[in-house]
Amino acid sequence: MNKFRLAIVTYIFLFLLCPYPVLTQEVKGPKMVLKERVFDFKEVKEGEAIEHTFLIFNQGDQPLEIKNVKPG
C-alpha cells in the first residue's frame, strides 16, 4: 500500500511541476505531413513507364519549401 501511495504522490507532484502550456505547445514553422510514406509499385516490366503522386501537406504556420528530392 505504501508503494501505491508513493506512486500517487509522485504522479501528482510531477503533474503540478509540468506547466500545462508546455504540454499543448504547438511547433512553430513548417510541418510536412505525408498521407503515405511508401508506395509499392508491385511488379514492373522493363521499359514500362510508371508514376505515383505523393500528397504532401503543410500543417505548420509558415511556408514549406521542398528544395531537394531524391528517389529511394
| ∠ Cα 8 15 6 (to 5°) | 20
29-39 pLDDT, tens digit per residue, is: 999 999 898 89
pLDDT (0 to 100) of residue 70: 82
User: What is the rounded distance in angstroms from the CA atom of residue 20 to the CA atom of residue 13?
Assistant: 13
Domain boundaries, the chain: 2-41+51-58
pTM for the full predicted model: 0.48
